[in-house]
Amino acid sequence: MPIYMNNGATTWPKPECVARAMYDFLVDRGANVARGSASERDLHTLDLVFSCREELTDLLGGWRRDPRCAVFTSSVTESLNIVLKGFLRPGMTVLTSGMEHNAVLRPLRRLEERGVRLEVAPCDSEGFLPPEVFAEALDRARPDLAVLSHASNVCGTVQDLPALAALCRGAGTPLVADCAQTAGLIPLDAQGLGLAALCFTGHKGLMGPQGIGGVMFEPEFAKKVDWFVEGGTGSFSHLELHPEAMPDKFEAGTPNTPGIAGLLAALRWLRETGMDNVRAKEEATGAALLEGLLSLSGVVLYGRRRMDGRLPVFAVNFEGVDNGLLAGRLFEEFGVETRPGLHCAPLAHRTLGSWPEGSLRISPGYFTTESDVEITIRALRSILG
């Protein structure tokens, strides 16, 4: 069994119920959604998809707890593309931060080529966006939209989303949050925060499978977002034009129902286990790992040197050591899986001072044991000499 320290990329293993739910769906049920004859299997799929929207709406604080605001996509990358490319038009201004993942940055750079003005609010050397810096940027840029990641996938720094969202509300700027790293770990309330859209992915903290994600939309904002995939929705079949009703507007084509079955099982597992318990266990593991990492000679740790205000996602380098070769040796000699390099976030590495070499990312998860942490630290000590 490998020592899995790459939960920042995807959580693994998943709770057993996730794979079982997907297997059961494919083997015993497997009907397409809203594209059948109201057989028992058809109704089961309808119920499954609706129940998953309901769970997401509860967990993420969907607007007026209306499950129609929860749109399924294949990933948070697709979610962000839908929102950003569907809302921003030439001549508009968008504000983001210096800690974004390429899932935000690349669509924005593309939009910039098409005439959207892009402004980047700088973060400090720990990857934190001070609300006063953001306030100044909002004031200066007067953006039509702001998009921010809630927590860094590189170094785990968590932004003060309530303060940043309050500033956006005050400025009348719709805010889109990339909650890829925080959904399922930090309580979220899309309506309470006044978010225009909360983008999430199913396969990280939500503990679901890969290939399923979504957007929790504020309904009035959703009306202003154009859609770019049109086709069958299993609804309004008499119309030759794509329907604008939610969530059908953004869900053309057969959805990933096995993925939704897995995600629903994962969300129920999360509710039964308790997000607080998941977070507390991850914090304890993270604290032990952080202490171990800081005890190693020549370590450079990016981001916070304490557990508050961060997730257990650690970015490190060791003086004179190539992080790619180190990751290779950790796995080959000790079975420890990590992720070296730039983590799809070149701008974040520039902010943190780890450009262009990147860093070694070590990210334990809910199923990481004390012994996994000890082995990882021992392995690093042994390789570093």
Ligand X SMILES: Cc1ncc(COP(=O)(O)O)c(C=O)c1O
Q: Evaluate the CA torsion angle 251, 254, 259, 262 in order and state its sign.
A: positive
Q: Which stretch binds ligand X (CB under 6 A): 174-182, 189-197, 240-248, 278-286?
A: 174-182
**Minimal distance, residue 374 CB to ligand X, in Å:** 27
Determine the size of the site formed for ligand X (CB under 6 A): 12
**Minimal distance, residue 343 CB to ligand X, in Å:** 7
**Minimal distance, residue 150 CB to ligand X, in Å:** 8
**How far is it, in rounded angstroms, from Cα 255 to Cα 125?**
41
Question: What strand order describes the sheet that includes 213-217?
Answer: 70-73, 213-217, 197-201, 175-178, 145-149, 93-97, 117-121
Residue 363 as a binder of ligand X (CB under 6 A): the answer is no
Q: Which is nearer to ligand X, 201 or 285 (CB)?
A: 201
**Among residue numbers 103 through 132, which ones bind ligand X (CB under 6 A)?**
103
Do 256 and 265 meet the contact criterion of CB atoms below 8 Å apart?
no
Q: Which is nearer to ligand X, 9 or 321 (CB)?
A: 9
CA atoms within 13 A on the CB side of 14: 26
User: CB nearest ligand X: which residue?
Assistant: 153
Residue 101 as a binder of ligand X (CB under 6 A): the answer is yes
**Minimal distance, residue 179 CB to ligand X, in Å:** 8
One symbol per residue from 257 to 296: x for binding ligand X (CB under 6 A), - otherwise; what is it?
----------------------------------------
**Minimal distance, residue 108 CB to ligand X, in Å:** 13
Assign 3-state DSSP to the chain and report helix, strand, coil percentages, each to 5.
Answer: 45, 15, 40
Give the 3-state secondary structure of residue 215: strand
Residue 376 as a binder of ligand X (CB under 6 A): the answer is no
CB neighbours of residue 189 within 10 Å: 16
**Minimal distance, residue 18 CB to ligand X, in Å:** 16
Residue 153 as a binder of ligand X (CB under 6 A): the answer is yes
CA atoms within 13 A on the CB side of 316: 25
| Nearest in space to 305 (alpha carbons), one of 113, 155, 112 | 155
Which one of 6, 11, 57, 149 is in contact with ligand X (CB under 6 A)? 149
Residue 178 as a binder of ligand X (CB under 6 A): the answer is yes
**What's the Cα-to-Cα distance from 269 to each of 22, 46, 209, 283, rounded to whole Å?**
14, 21, 13, 19
One symbol per residue from 181 to 220: x for binding ligand X (CB under 6 A), - otherwise; what is it?
x-------------------x-----------x-------
**How far is it, in rounded angstroms, from Cα 11 to Cα 297?**
29
Residue 180 as a binder of ligand X (CB under 6 A): the answer is yes
Q: Which is nearer to ligand X, 181 or 338 (CB)?
A: 181
Q: Which is nearer to ligand X, 157 or 191 (CB)?
A: 157
**Among residue numbers 67 through 86, which ones bind ligand X (CB under 6 A)?**
75-77
Residue 7 as a binder of ligand X (CB under 6 A): the answer is no
Do 215 and 71 meet the contact criterion of CB atoms below 8 Å apart?
yes
Is residue 238 exposed (0-12), middle (13-18) or buried (19+ Cβ within 10 Å)?
A: exposed
Q: Which is nearer to ligand X, 101 or 279 (CB)?
A: 101
Residue 314 as a binder of ligand X (CB under 6 A): the answer is no
| Nearest in space to 49 (alpha carbons), one of 268, 257, 270, 265 | 257
The token duo for 145 is: 């939209």
Interface residues toward ligand X, by CB under 6 A:
75-77, 101, 103, 149, 153, 178, 180-181, 201, 213
